[in-house]
Amino acid sequence: MLRLQSISPRRLVVALLALVLIALGVTVAAGGWNRVEAQSGESSRYAAIVVDAGSGEVLFSRHADSRRFPASVTKVMTLYLVFEALEKGTVSLDDVITVSPKAAAEPPSKLGLAAGQTIRLDDAMRATAVRSANDMAMVLAEHIGGSEAGFAAMMTRKAQDLGMTQTRYFNPNGLPDSRQVSSARDIAILARAAMRDYPQYYSYFGQHDWAYQGRGYRNTNGLLYSDSGYDGIKTGFTNASGYNLVASAVRDGRRIITVVLGGRSSATRNTHLAQLTDTGFELERRRAAGERTLVAQTFFEQRGFGVGSPDSSAPVAYASVSGTPTEREEGIGSSGVAYTALPAPAPAVRAAAAPPPELARNVPVATPATAPPVRRAEAETAPRSGNLTASLNSGVAAGSGLNRGAIANPPPPARATAPTPPAGRWSVQVGAFRDESVARNWVNEVNRRFRAQFASAERTVASAAGWHRSRFTGLTQAGAEAACAALAERRVTCMVVRPGN
């Protein structure tokens, strides 16, 4: 039996300290102190969104407007601008491009051509889409924009045109730059725009394998190899971002776009994204069968997605808190710079005159009274003839006369010089639907969640031009703005409506 007399006071203190550390969940390693990493809850880098590509309806969202590092998902915008240049005729797939010293010096993943070597534009595009080659993304940027800075400015302007409000670009490949940010919603907008505006080039994002100079390359998007209808679009990874993926799948004539950011590994990210996509298609099938599914977000939450869901026993492995990746998906190791996820922007209260976003901020599409109708997913039970991607996205093949500018550039908001309307007649709109019963049920649901904000308001459904708008009326301007701000804090779509609208 060990006697206390044989233990020196110093050793006794060390032993007691070790027991305390074990109880607190800390281990002592040769390299220093390592905190045991929690496996439940969300990382600050996690964000997700599920969108019906045909209607633009957001079926599920979580931190969808919070700023995140896009990593190589950036290359979707790079290729979008190449598609645009091809359509305009300013470049050709057969263009031969000389690799610059800057492009050759880009870190992996890369194709690895030396400065002075040449490559066809088409091959550079495939290397960017399949291999996620950082050097080839720079080759494309310099060929289209003249320089990295010039092309990055083009990328940011295009993002603004498309309604990507949280996105800024400073390089064409997504390598670490603390200024280069986006959001899950913005990435979904971009993915939808790529397949809608340039369906003839969308296949670049879905190519499984590609061979160049005798060497084969496999697409970094593992979901393409499943039998679940996935046909694009792009992965991304840096230590700062975690494992990102925007993917799209078609089943039963319907297309869903899903974005997951901040995964801990490519495997857990893919599993989580597939579960979200499967749930989206289950929702669509039930709607097509005539089942009245009132709130898509609730449908997801009842199945264990989102905060406050009934099943929290099996948390998804989100991005590692420590920032140490468990895999190397695209050959991008640590940049030597530790970034933290940027905070979500302060919620803004939108005036009634503000144009609707490209994608709704929650399940309902909060369109102003003057907005043109937007088709719901239920209306398209089968794809139209012609290009499937274009038809599923309510668009037509590029070059057929579609005025994308009219869609991408909404009208400016009303001037602040308008006369002040009387108090007590302001409203808060929380959604717009084709089905009146859905509109009434949604306004009741919002009232249930936010009783304090709408205690003195009247619940109504304003119907016009085939749309039924869920509203709370009889508010003062201050009361309406305060209520909408409270909803925005909880990521519920709303807009303040002036009297007479």
Can you name the residues that pair with 458 across neighbouring β-strands?
Answer: 473
DSSP 94: T
HSE-up of residue 202 (Cα within 13 Å, Cβ side): 26
HSE-up of residue 219 (Cα within 13 Å, Cβ side): 23
User: Which two structure tokens, joined as six digits, stand for 30?
Assistant: 């040769």
In angstroms, the CA 277 to CA 299 distance is 13
Catalytic residue, chosen from 43, 55, 75, 320, is 75
Minimal CA–CA distance to 248: which of 394, 78, 49, 46? 49
Q: Give yes or no: 72 in active site.
A: yes
In angstroms, the CA 138 to CA 144 distance is 10
User: Which two structure tokens, joined as six digits, stand for 28?
Assistant: 């002592």
In angstroms, the CA 107 to CA 95 distance is 24
Catalytic residue, chosen from 72, 183, 266, 391, is 72
Omega cis (within 30) before 233: yes
Q: Give yes or no: 132 in active site.
A: yes
Catalytic residue, chosen from 66, 100, 132, 183, is 132
Do 261 and 240 contact (CB within 8 A), yes or no?
Answer: no
- Is 441 exposed, middle or buried, given 0-12, 13-18 or 19+ CB atoms closer than 10 A? middle
User: Which two structure tokens, joined as six digits, stand for 442?
Assistant: 């949604």
Which residue numbers are catalytic? 72, 75, 132
